[in-house]
Amino acid sequence: MNNPNAIVLECKNITKKFPGVLALDQVDFDCRRGEIHGLLGENGAGKSTLMKIVAGAYEKDEGEILLEGKKVNFKTTKEAIQEKVITVFQEGNVIEDLRVFENIFLNHELRISKTPFLDEKKMIKLSENLIKQYGLNIKSTDKVKNLSVDEKKMVEIFRGLTQGSKVLILDEPTSSLTDLETIKLLNFLNELIKQDICIVFITHNIKEAIAISHRITVLREGKKIKTVDSIATSQEEIIKLMLGRYLTENITYKSNVDKNNIIFEVRELNVKNRLNNINFNLKKGEILGVTGLVGSGGTDLAEAIFGMNNIKKESGKFFLKSKEVDINNPVTAIKNGIGYLTPDRKGDGLFLRFPVYENITMVAIKKFLNKIGFVNKKKQIQISKEYVNLLSVKTPSVSSLVESLSGGNQQKVVLAKWLEILPDIMIMNEPTVGIDVGTKIEIRKIINNITLQGKSIILISTEPDDLIGLCDRIIVMFKGKIIKEINGKTANKEMIINSATKGYEKEIISV
């Protein structure tokens, strides 16, 4: 019988340098058979870098990696997959033109017994079972390009769950999931480890890590700080290890809503198979929350309002200050004073091979042109440094390429881009996704401060903590419909979850 406590994955003295940054400094880490090992730290602490080295996406500069006691050095992710080291990356890795079931079984397709032919029926059936289990409003035969960002994330997780791994690395797997989807995933992982695999669970959700993990390792500024037993620690202690100090959140958000001043209105909006008869208004200075299960329609609503190409409006009208406006593309939306902070920072929010300062100033580029039409680079850099300081973006320089930043720091750059022009109406879709606990608090303060300047915000989030107390109202969506409106100042987690899960079994999640 195999030793149940045997180390499956072991990293010794891993060091990794990027230009101007020591990303990992002599880091040790291990994961045992049948264990879920949480890996935590602030944005830029080195979590994803360490696991990308394990997965063959990055090369280490120093140290060694052992898999079941055997030294390995994967040069590509394909080599890692062949040895059953499977990673679901935070950035997303789906093939848009393939169908859902084809993405789920990508590179491990099922074949009809003793033939070279694919067993599509079986793959479709297994995919449909997963989709049903998680309550997604998609079909296994849908093209992935037609899914929302959140739905694409779930497809990736399904792929990782079906590959029969020795080591399963999940990088922020629940960052865009509601509590209901999260609890279902965590329950699935608890069943999965009975098969003696080991799971590395990277997350910013400390409560979640303590609830699901056997042990937790904390990194800070590229160094391993400590490994603790989850049962013997607390959220406060983990935060202290992450930040080097205790952190308390005791904030009362101020409301600046003008209830008699409707700045934006949506009437009878319909998008085929996505949105059904959507009606709501947004008042000046208001934070209007939008929540629901993954695929409930929040992202579709945001993209319809912003005129994204992938959303084709069948019918409906938009009104700005009681005047009907026709918004067919993002350029028109921006001209009408509407901005959109997308959850897909890599696909829609950033130019990854451009420097930080160009990304921050791209939407407001006209502000940086001199009299003869040339860009004032010095001014771009100066303003960008202010936002880097404001949002605590970890980067060697504002001239560093955005692709070199961690996922959470990339998200901050997207936020800075919109803060620079500060439109009258800001749609924020999962603004704290992939953000560490300290920065989440700061971003919520910034959101509140924006409305204190008379601006209005549509805040789309699957995380109740982003909505409760901060929003003036919260509208709940389910399968493309608005099913309820809640007073944001009196809302609680139980109320939001029960409303969002209408139509499914109602579960109160304690994670």
- The conformation of residue 367, written as its DSSP 8-state character, comes to G
Is 193's pLDDT higher than 70? yes
CATH of 1-84+167-176+195-248, one of 3.40.50.300, 3.30.9.10, 3.90.320.10, 3.10.20.740: 3.40.50.300
Enter the pTM of the model.
0.69
Q: Tokens in use for 445?
A: 């303060």
Note the pLDDT tens digit of each residue in 51-78: 999 999 999 999 999 999 999 999 998 8
Instruction: Give me the residue spans of the domains in the chain.
Output: 1-84+167-176+195-248, 91-163, 253-337+456-503
Is 361's pLDDT higher than 50? yes
Note the pLDDT tens digit of each residue in 240-265: 998 887 666 667 788 999 999 999 99
| Cα gap 453→183, rounded to integer Å | 38
Q: What is the pLDDT of residue 455?
A: 96
> If you write DSSP's letter for every residue of 82-117 in order, what string do you get?
HTTEEEE-TT----TTSBHHHHHTTTS--B-TTSSS
Name the average pLDDT for the chain: 88
- Say whether domain 253-337+456-503 belongs to CATH 3.30.70.580: no
Query: 45, 27, 25, 29: which is closest to 37 by C-alpha?
Result: 29
Q: Tokens in use for 458?
A: 């549509």
**Contact criterion met (CB below 8 Å) for 227 and 39:** no
